Structures are given as C-alpha cells and as structure tokens.
Amino acid sequence: MPDLPHVPHEPDPETSGLRVFPASRDHAVREMAGMFDDVSGRYDLLNSVMTLGQDRAWRAAMWRAVPEAAGVVLDLCTGSGVSLGGLRRPGRILLGVDASLRMLELAADEHGPWGWAPRLACADAFRLPFRDGALDAVTIAFGMRNLRPRTGALAELARVLAPGGTLVVLEATAPRPGPLAPFHRFYARRVIPFLGRLSPDPVAYRYLSASIFEFGTGEEFERDLAAGGFALVERRAYLFGAARLWTVQRLAGEAGGTLRNARPRARGRGNFTQGSHAAEQEWRWWTSTRAVVSAALTGSLLWALITWVKWRPAINLEPWQDRIFWLLIVAGLAGFSIRTLVLVLRLLGPPPPG
C-alpha cells in the first residue's frame, strides 16, 4: 500500500494494523459507511440469528473456494473481520478492506497487527488502493449487494485481480419462484426488519431487507460477471436459495472481447474444492443418521404427548407428579425438535472445514 497523508484521528498502524485512506468523494459511500458504523456492535450477532446460525458454514465454503496457492488475498467489505480467520495461511498476505472505520476497528482488535495477521484498510471499494493485477483472490461475504453500481464494482475487482485470479462472492438472494418462495419472501421482508429492532439502528435492517430484493435472485449478477470479464467456476445455493455462493475466475482480455484463461492452473494446485470426498460422505452419513434418530424421538414424544392428553383424566396423579410429567414431555419434545431442525440445516449446508 502507498504511503498515506496524515489523517486526523487515524489509528496508529503500528498498534492496530489499520490504515485509513482519504475519504471517498462519493456521498453514497460515506452514507453506507455511516450506517454500518452505527450497527457495528451487534451486526455479527444479528447476522448469525438471521441466518439461523448457518452463516459460519457458508463462510467456510467460501474459504474452501480460495485456492491454497493464492499468495495475496483480499476480503472486501470485510466489516468486523469475521471472514478473515478462515483465510489466514502462513506466508499469505491477507488484506481486509471496508468503508466503515468502526467495523474495521473491531477487526483490528480481534486480529491484532502481528505475525500473519491481516492488513486492514479503510477505503472505497470503487477506488481500491492496489496496483493493477496485484491480487490472487478476492472474497466478499454479504457485501456485494451494497456495491452500486455493480458493474463499476466488478470493473474495479477485475482491475486489481491478476488474470486467472479467483473471486468468491457469498450473498443473500431474493426468492426464486417455487413452493417455498412465499416463506422466503415473508422472512426477508418481515422477519429481518423485525429482528433489526434489536440493533441500535433498525432503519439499517429495513435497508438490508430491501437490498436483498434489489440484488435479485442471482441471474442478473451472473450476467454482470460475464460482461465484466469473469468466468463462472461454480455456484451453490444454501437454505433453499436464501444465500448463494459464486466462485468465478478473472479472464484475460477486455469485457465484450475475446476472453481466455490467462493463467492455467498447475495440476494439484489451486483446486476449488479441497478436502477428502470420502470424509465429506462420512460426515453426511453420520449427520443424516443423527437427524433420523432425532426425528424419530421427536415423533415418539409427540405421540406420548397426545396419549398423555387423552388419558390424563383417568390417571390419578398428585399435582406435583402431573407438573413433572408435563415438563418432561414438553421439554423433551422442544429439545429434540430443535435438534432435528439444526441437523437438517447442517445437511443443507456445506460440510465443516477440515
């Protein structure tokens, strides 16, 4: 990164690992940064609640899509740095950029400035402080829909990515037509703004809800990627399409011209899917078995509850015995119902890392 002019109240890069670049002239970028400054304290907690605890598994899939051979990796819209931990590797230069200084201060507190810690910078995503072709890979988790115009953001990413470099985007998407679309739409339009009331700035979550529908279902995003000089490597959908993951490769040539892979990958290096297939199959088998057993126990407890309600008047129990029996059945039914739901959600998502 280039030397910076003095910025008032700039964090000390020697102690925080955070550098502040001159503020963007774009009023919209400053407004967006201010909004995320306001919600920074509870943002990651609410993200986990709103994704039913699945956001970490989705991020793990994003980490695995980054080639191990990538030497310089940028996590754009990094926020509080929750995606940075899974991208750290000995010898890798890891960068985190966001427009929100308050979010980045949380990231700096979490990761520190020493060792292979990420280098953090407060900067505008449309004017990244990197040379052309300086990066091997870029990740963006739940930030792409905030970068508008999207074509301008993709053009900047194409500039800083080396030919053959990897871009991995994890994003919440609008519901596609189907039987679950009404539930997805209700959750995105109603539940997310409602949970946003737990935030210091509920208006921000009304914006975040609306931005999901503005981003769309992903088809238009894929067209923008193709027009911007990126080739699709892989796409995945999670939680019935509530979130999607795209892995794309930056191609050589100008957008709209002849595009080709400028940096073929050597065999055995830079694989997009890492880890053992057999281990993944074992994990899925074991998780499926636990889900079936948990569902069977849930059904048994439900049958016991119905039977208890039917025969309770004929059973002469002491009041305290009656209360304990109610507590055991209801608590067991609730516990195994939640466990079954959690196991099913795990199966719908990617396997755990490592």
Q: Does the residue 44 lie in any domain? A: yes
Cα 216 to chain centroid, rounded: 17
| Same structural domain, 196 and 119 | yes
Q: Does the residue 218 lie in any domain? A: yes
Q: Does the residue 140 lie in any domain? A: yes
Q: CA 294, 299, 302: angle at the middle one, nearest 5?
A: 125
Cis peptide before 149 (omega within 30 of 0): yes
Q: Is the pLDDT of residue 256 over 80?
A: no
Q: Is the pLDDT of residue 78 over 90?
A: yes
Q: Is the pLDDT of residue 266 over 60?
A: no
Q: Does the residue 212 lie in any domain? A: yes
Residue 3's pLDDT band (cuts 50, 70, 90): very low
From 250, 285, 308, give the residue that closes a domain.
Answer: 250
| Same structural domain, 38 and 149 | yes
Q: Is the pLDDT of residue 83 over 70?
A: yes
| Same structural domain, 222 and 283 | no
More confident position, 182 or 230: 230
44-48, 195-199, 225-229, 279-283 — most confident range: 225-229
Mean pLDDT of 114-129: 89
Q: Is the pLDDT of residue 275 over 60?
A: no
**Residue 177 contacts by C-beta under 8 Å, 6 or more apart in sequence?**
none
25-34, 162-171, 254-263 — most confident range: 162-171
Burial letters 148-178, b for 16+ CB under 10 A, else e = bebeebbbbbbbbbbbbbbbbbbbbbbbeee
| Same structural domain, 20 and 88 | yes
52 and 71 Cβ atoms separated by less than 8 Å: no
Q: Does the residue 230 lie in any domain? A: yes
Mean of per-residue pLDDT scores for the chain: 81
Q: Does the residue 342 lie in any domain? A: yes
The predicted structure's pLDDT at residue 69 = 95
pLDDT in tens, 42-57: 777 888 888 888 888 8
| Same structural domain, 204 and 90 | yes
The predicted structure's pLDDT at residue 346 = 76
Q: Does the residue 270 lie in any domain? A: no
43-57, 62-76, 100-114, 259-273 — most confident range: 62-76
Cα 348 to chain centroid, rounded: 15
Residue 309's pLDDT band (cuts 50, 70, 90): confident
Strand 243-250 and strand 230-238: the pairing is antiparallel
DSSP-assigned letters across all residues of 96-161: EEES-HHHHHHHHHHH-SSTTPPEEEE--TTS-SS-TT-EEEEEEES-GGGSSSHHHHHHHHHHHE
More confident position, 350 or 249: 249
More confident position, 6 or 31: 31
Provide the token pair at 66.
Answer: 């980054």
More confident position, 9 or 163: 163
| Same structural domain, 52 and 170 | yes
| Same structural domain, 191 and 328 | no
| Same structural domain, 84 and 202 | yes
| Same structural domain, 113 and 209 | yes
- The DSSP H or E segment spanning 43 is helix 43-50
Number of domains in the chain: 2
Q: Does the residue 354 lie in any domain? A: no
| Same structural domain, 288 and 219 | no
Integer Rg of the chain from CA: 24
Give the single-character DSSP code of 349.
S
96-100, 192-196, 263-267, 342-346 — most confident range: 96-100
The predicted structure's pLDDT at residue 351 = 67
On the CB side of 184, CA atoms within 13 Å amount to 20
More confident position, 134 or 323: 134
Q: Is the pLDDT of residue 6 over 90?
A: no
C-alpha 178/C-alpha 341 separation (Å) is 21
The label of the residue with tokens 């890069």 reads 13
SS3 content of the chain, % helix, strand, coil (to 5): 50, 15, 35
CA distances from 269 to 191, 231, 274, 277, 345 (A): 43, 19, 10, 17, 31
Question: What CATH number corresponds to the domain at position 144?
Answer: 3.40.50.150
130 and 230 Cβ atoms separated by less than 8 Å: no
Cα 92 to chain centroid, rounded: 21
Mean pLDDT of 301-316: 79
Specify the 3-state DSSP secondary structure of 229: coil
| Domain carrying residue 228 | 13-250
From 206, 235, 250, give the residue that closes a domain.
Answer: 250
| Same structural domain, 19 and 126 | yes
C-alpha 75/C-alpha 141 separation (Å) is 8
| Same structural domain, 292 and 246 | no
